[in-house]
Homo-oligomer: A and B are copies of this chain.
């Protein structure tokens, strides 16, 4: 009997090392979005994946805009350690650090597969780390919305003059470009957009694409839906408090990193899907919606203004600003050559029949 007890004790001592390894970590994640926002999809996937892959060792609770009331405060909430993680959009922090601007979307920039090629096989991840590490933060791709539409217009845009004085909601760099060609760019909270458009307080709304726009009902009051240039892809962001991350065992760090990467891809697939579903709903239920591309002359002008603005941003920035911009530009040019003879050539060559 004594021998059995000794064996039990030895196994007990061994098993305690497992017990220490199996310590449970409780994290909190603050997301910029409301809990039912389509942008929260990658967070839902991420939570499901960490649950599956950490064997319950990592429990992450999500708090949405409704709880923390700080959709534009995620950077500080994670930096301070109040939350170990956040989900938001890098461009929100441009006033804290202009170099955060480039990691969400750039007008006339890369489409999603080109952008992921830059992040994971070009300089993207390394440069993003360079920007965020000085704040004790880790930043990772957080899911892509794919191509965004320019938005919903009450009236047709036939020339540049039609844009002058037009009151339009448009955010980010694209909003500044629009302002520079004479648009009266205004900021209206999301939940007031429909009413403003219906009342004629604003003339146009740039938002996302069919997947997200549909539920807001813009098609009822603004029948011209313009194709995009403002955000050919838009990447969300996972933010992590670096100290909290370093306290985790390596196995859980790997769970988190892989779960983020998979959740980000999953969101791109999901939104691609929903864009198709909702676009078909719009086409069937609202046959009067007119899909338009801007006239060529207007697009040319927007490209010129975007270049001018980007040159200003580069000049006013620091060495890192210029390193990021030059890396993105080179990567876009190189990967675009393939997109042009690959997907684009196929789509164009079969476009009148398929």
Contact = CB atoms under 8 A, between A and B. Distances in A.
Interface of A: 5, 8-9, 11-12, 14-16, 18, 49, 52-53, 55, 108, 111-114, 116-117, 120-122, 146-147, 149, 209-210, 225, 227-229, 232, 251, 254-255, 258, 261-262, 265-266, 268-270, 272-273, 275-277, 279-280, 283, 291, 293-294, 296, 299-300, 303, 332, 334-351, 353-354
Given A11-B15, A12-B12, A300-B353, A280 B337 contact: yes
A228 B55 contact: no
Which secondary structure dominates chain A's binding surface?
Answer: helix
Given A269-B113, A349-B299, A275 B338 contact: yes
Contact of A344 (B49, B146, B347): B347
Q: In the assembly, how many copies of this chain are there? A: 2
Given A232-B346, A261-B262, 5 more contacts: A112-B113, A117-B269, A149-B341, A149-B342, A293-B345
Given A276-B338, A303-B354, A353-B303, A227 B345 contact: yes
B117 A350 contact: no
A346 B8 contact: no
A116 B271 CA distance: 11
Contacts of A338: 209-210, 272, 275-276, 279
A14 B11 CA distance: 11
B229 A280 contact: no
Contacts of A228: 342, 345-346
Contacts of A341: 149, 225, 227, 279, 291
A149 B16 CA distance: 57
